[in-house]
A = this chain, B = another copy of it.
């Protein structure tokens, strides 16, 4: 926490200075560096060699085949990338009539033991010869294709990439309690996560403000705890989000945050919530200490039976095996203020609210063991020395003591800053700089042993001031900086250079219909909202306007005559191998071209 605060103070101080200096935004110090090429890959691969010569691609005609084709994950990915390869509104010319250097096909093969895995898991995904690595390779391939200034679709004629993620857990937290996030918006954000090779959606689904998760076991929780009957995730909604994520190689980890943050539960089940007292009266809030009633009551038996049933239901719905239990910000002064809780503690020889918290945690961890689920908690519970089982994952900013760790504090995307950060020689977008400069193993670990316990990190967007109007622009491309930090090598850490590559990647996101906000002066074609080629509201990308394009309901076209992507009539078969080779604990993706 201290480290975090220092960091914020420093950066905000810089922001103040910067702001006062650039009141009218004069660019008196030119940007250093040069624009990146349009096929700069984000996040940066571990190794890349790229030629200068180009191949043409006939717009809408590249034959893709795979030894995984019966696998829905690959088949749907191939279809999904159609409008990505060939954006529907852009001008694309056929190659010159005499051109022979045309790339006509792409082969996506898992070389060893091809298996159609159904759901990505923590240790299996991307670290072996699997469909997940193939998905990441396909994304890389899609970033290599571009439309040149003469409006030809082109790709370099020789590209060798060896790639693998540095960290296994690369996530985004969204908060659907403070403001409701519509299902199409969540799915669209999953798409952008996949464009950035992120693989965990941490869904902070309920909190004090609302309970939008519709439980079959306890339907009143959302019936009375959601903002309205429109602001609810039905079981079908939840399933379709999980399915959408599954096809993108993204695990969905639900967070059922207890025992604090449960005000909305009390609307239907007040018996579960501790009534806070003050001055001899119940239902009293004291500023800075506790609200009126927002913490589960650990001495209430119905709390434990409810939690047991609810977690069983959650486990049965979410295939990820992980459940985030929250356990942050438990205002123990409320427990202490309640006469019944105090008496019970005396009777049961529980001397401190920390021990009471441990008591609660142990009951809930029993359930987690019984349902074979892996626990993730926020740092607070670990700071309080609550005893946790060894496999537990702590989401926080420092490691140690044998727990696995997910970093989040440096990447609270909801915190916004204006302006540039000045290096000695140039200026860098301040927010980008802040996220890009984090080095997990340098900044957030105590001992060598602790370092290997860092599983990865998450960008967190708390929902107070975000909803459909600004969520995508607020997250992107800032979160792409986090994605690169978690995917690429530690040596990829030059933010002056990276901001130009990110600018190119931001243009790529615009072309894919994502309203990612600008990070530099300038432009990137006429793709943005309200411009002639804008894809932002294009049905090919937007689930809102055209629900029929929803991945989870799309059927795969097999007739080449009507297919957008396949060109089975081509006589000249050119192949690209996207090969996955198994190495110990890393993924090796090789894309090589021939024509």
Taking Cβ atoms with an 8 Å cutoff, the residues of A that contact B are: 1, 4-5, 8-9, 12, 15-16, 19-20, 23-30, 175, 178-180, 182-185, 188, 208-210, 227-228, 230-231, 260-261, 285, 287-291, 328-329, 331, 378, 409, 412, 414-419, 429, 462-470, 473, 510, 515-523, 525-526, 528-532, 534, 536-537, 543-545
Q: Write the nearest CB–CB distance from A91 to chain B, whole angstroms.
A: 12
| 14 contacts across the A-B interface (CB closer than 8 A) | A12-B15, A24-B462, A25-B414, A28-B331, A182-B529, A228-B525, A228-B526, A464-B521, A465-B517, A466-B518, A468-B531, A468-B534, A468-B536, A537-B537
Residues in chain B near residue A231, CB distance under 8 A = 523, 526
Interface SS of chain A: loop
Q: Which of A517, A532, A545 has the most CB of B within 10 A?
A: A517
Choose among B29, B520, B523, B530 the residue that contacts A228 (Cβ–Cβ < 8 A): B523
Complex-state Cα separation, A215 to B428, whole angstroms? 34
Q: Write the nearest CB–CB distance from A588 to chain B, whole angstroms.
A: 36
**Interface contact A28-B230, CB-CB below 8 Å:** no
Residues in chain B near residue A517, CB distance under 8 A = 465-467, 469-470
**Interface contact B25-A464, CB-CB below 8 Å:** yes
Q: Write the nearest CB–CB distance from A381 to chain B, whole angstroms.
A: 12
Residues in chain B near residue A518, CB distance under 8 A = 179, 464-467, 469-470
Q: Write the nearest CB–CB distance from A532 to chain B, whole angstroms.
A: 7
List of 10 A-B pairs having minimum Cβ-Cβ separation, nearest first: A468-B529, A182-B530, A469-B515, A227-B523, A470-B473, A230-B526, A468-B528, A184-B530, A185-B530, A470-B517
**Interface contact B185-A532, CB-CB below 8 Å:** no
Given the contacts A287-B28, A328-B24, A378-B24, A465 and B519 also touching, CB distance less than 8 Å: yes
Given the contacts A209-B522, A230-B531, A415-B418, A28 and B289 also touching, CB distance less than 8 Å: yes
Q: Which of A9, A290, A429 has the most CB of B within 10 A?
A: A9
**Interface contact A28-B290, CB-CB below 8 Å:** yes
Closest B residue to A231 by CB, please name it.
Answer: B523
Residues in chain B near residue A1, CB distance under 8 A = 20, 23
Residues in chain B near residue A4, CB distance under 8 A = 20, 23
Complex-state Cα separation, A485 to B224, whole angstroms? 38
Residues in chain B near residue A287, CB distance under 8 A = 28-29
Choose among B30, B179, B230, B417 the residue that contacts A521 (Cβ–Cβ < 8 A): B179
Complex-state Cα separation, A9 to B525, whole angstroms? 38
Complex-state Cα separation, A188 to B228, whole angstroms? 30
Residues in chain B near residue A209, CB distance under 8 A = 27, 521-522
Choose among B175, B227, B473 the residue that contacts A473 (Cβ–Cβ < 8 A): B473
**Interface contact A27-B208, CB-CB below 8 Å:** yes
**Interface contact A470-B470, CB-CB below 8 Å:** yes
Residues in chain B near residue A20, CB distance under 8 A = 1, 4-5, 8
Complex-state Cα separation, A230 to B329, whole angstroms? 52
Closest B residue to A182 by CB, please name it.
Answer: B530
**Interface contact A288-B473, CB-CB below 8 Å:** no
**Interface contact A530-B470, CB-CB below 8 Å:** no
Choose among B291, B523, B534 the residue that contacts A544 (Cβ–Cβ < 8 A): B534
Closest B residue to A285 by CB, please name it.
Answer: B30
Complex-state Cα separation, A414 to B15, whole angstroms? 13
Residues in chain B near residue A537, CB distance under 8 A = 537, 544-545
**Interface contact B418-A418, CB-CB below 8 Å:** no
Closest B residue to A290 by CB, please name it.
Answer: B28
Q: Write the nearest CB–CB distance from A289 to chain B, whole angstroms.
A: 7
**Interface contact A185-B529, CB-CB below 8 Å:** yes
Closest B residue to A514 by CB, please name it.
Answer: B469
Residues in chain B near residue A285, CB distance under 8 A = 28-30
